[in-house]
Amino acid sequence: MQDFFVTLEQYSWLTRITVATDLLNIPQRYDSSLVSRLSSCLEALELGSFNFSPLVINNITKHLIEDLPLQGVNLLYVIKKLAITNSKILYYVAVSLVFVGIEAITGASKSRYRLHTVDEFLKYLEVLNIEHLHSERHNLQIIYQLLKLLSLYENMVLVRHFGKQHADLESEHKCYANFFRVSDQQRMAFQLWLEKSSSLVRLSGNDRDVDYLILADLIEVDMLPLLDDVNPTEDLL
């Protein structure tokens, strides 16, 4: 198996087959042996320098989006699955898929399927300002989808890499180090956006509205506490 999948197209094909099989298996609510075997084979493939090739990220992400029904909960599910594999390239693909989802919600012009810096991530939040969220207040599914995407990025990048030294990032991510550099100022900017969004959710709903309570809990229970855990200021107190 390792000797057979030696080209980019072959690796991309195996990735699509693995993801598609996993999606088909979701209704059964258990991991089939086929999905497990495919996932193990995919993770075992040694790509060497191709782990850090923008072309590989672009190719795999593009084919996943164009060939599979990756919208809504399917997209969230696939991002989470790819992010926890033991494969660097699949982790990078998972991060790139987050931005595919954000661009679909914001209506932003689609960028080439790729990694983004934290500064680029924060620029999307400028588009997703309070006024934008207020205009979508009657479409809570869109807001929930957005918050879940932001939560995934928070876990995969902001929390995971906050405070790491440049040398450590270069050792782990080579030429991609800049995409995972997270400053305290950037962390605070994201935290401020979450706090403002939480206030908007509270003002728009009420304590008896289950949908609004779900959104509020996602921000206040799942997302904000993670940023407090990596707050360097608190560590000094």
pLDDT in tens, 160-200: 999 999 999 999 999 999 999 999 999 999 999 999 988 88
Q: Is residue 39 situated within a structural domain?
A: yes
Q: Is residue 237 situated within a structural domain?
A: no
Asked if 105 contacts 86 with a C-beta cutoff of 8 angstroms, the reply is no
Q: Is residue 80 situated within a structural domain?
A: yes
So what's the pLDDT on residue 121?
96
Domain boundary among 114, 130, 159: 114
So what's the pLDDT on residue 212?
83
Q: Number of structural domains, the chain?
A: 2
Residue whose tokens read 């000094």? 236
- Are 98 and 123 part of one and the same domain? no
So what's the pLDDT on residue 49?
81
So what's the pLDDT on residue 127?
79
Amino acid present at 190: F
- Are 48 and 109 part of one and the same domain? yes
Identify the residue with better confidence: 137 or 108.
108
Going by pLDDT thresholds of 50, 70 and 90, the confidence category of residue 230 is confident
DSSP label at residue 110? P
Short-list 16, 170, 155, 145, CA closest to 80: 155
DSSP label at residue 156? I
Q: Is residue 10 situated within a structural domain?
A: yes
- Are 46 and 135 part of one and the same domain? no
Short-list 223, 85, 81, CA closest to 146: 223
Going by pLDDT thresholds of 50, 70 and 90, the confidence category of residue 134 is low
- Are 41 and 140 part of one and the same domain? no
Q: Is residue 101 situated within a structural domain?
A: yes
Integer CA distances (angstroms), 221 to 41, 151, 183, 228, in order: 36, 11, 23, 11
So what's the pLDDT on residue 131?
63
Residue range 39-68: mean pLDDT, rounded:
90
d(Cα 68, Cα 58) in Å, to the nearest integer?
Answer: 15
- Are 1 and 89 part of one and the same domain? yes
Domain that holds residue 69: 1-114
Domain boundary among 67, 92, 114: 114
Q: SS3 of 117, please?
A: coil
Domain boundary among 68, 94, 114: 114
- Are 7 and 48 part of one and the same domain? yes
Q: Is residue 236 situated within a structural domain?
A: no
